Amino acid sequence: MPILDQLNITDLSPPAQSSRIERFRRRLISAIDLQIEIAKADAAGQTLSLTKRRRVKDKTTGRSEMKDTPLHLRRWWWRDESGTVYLPLKLGIKTLELAPGKSAIEIGGIEELPAKLALVRNAVSAGELDRCADATKTATQLPNKRPTLQPLAGGQKTPAKR
């Protein structure tokens, strides 16, 4: 009896790579989920501390080992003088423009922030902020750090001046 006859063989292929819009939604939703956790802790008067496992090199021995290191949590929101909370949406270093010329949501009190963030998360899931994906495309790309080479008269190449 052949060995392959013992296996269940199908005609399915692996799923196609996700589109740029799907990656945008997934990244923004995970960032909003983190902001919801921070907002819940702030509303309860607590501090949230999260850790991530990272490879850290020991200076004395030179060996690297995995350790839990604290994450630096950045809050997206701020308060004005009257205590009103404002929330811009960010992806990386780019602040998203929610409406033409407007980039922040007026929340009110800090207690309302987790509920408003959940509404924004639902809007992102529904695709209402897909138009912002084009604006973040250039902000998330790294600049080309390799100098371009230009030929000289003698056939040698030198780095171009920028």
pLDDT for 136 equals 65
Residue type at 38 in one-letter notation: I
- H/E run at residue 117: helix 113-126
CA distances from 37 to 43, 56, 128, 130 (A): 10, 27, 23, 24
What mean pLDDT do residues 130-143 have? 66
Q: Which two tokens stand for residue 39?
A: 């907002």
Distances (CA, A) of 77 to 5, 28, 59: 60, 15, 38
Cα separation of 148 and 162, whole Å?
Answer: 9
User: How does residue 131 score in pLDDT terms, banded at 50, 70 and 90?
Assistant: confident
pLDDT, position 25: 92
pLDDT digits (tens, 9 = 90+) for 8-27: 888 887 777 778 889 999 99
What's the whole-model pTM score? 0.68
Kindly report the three-state secondary structure assignment for every residue of 14-34: CCCCCCHHHHHHHHHHHHHHH
Classify 85 as helix, strand or coil: strand
What are the backbone dihedrals phi and psi of residue 111, each rounded to the nearest 5 degrees, phi first?
-65, -30
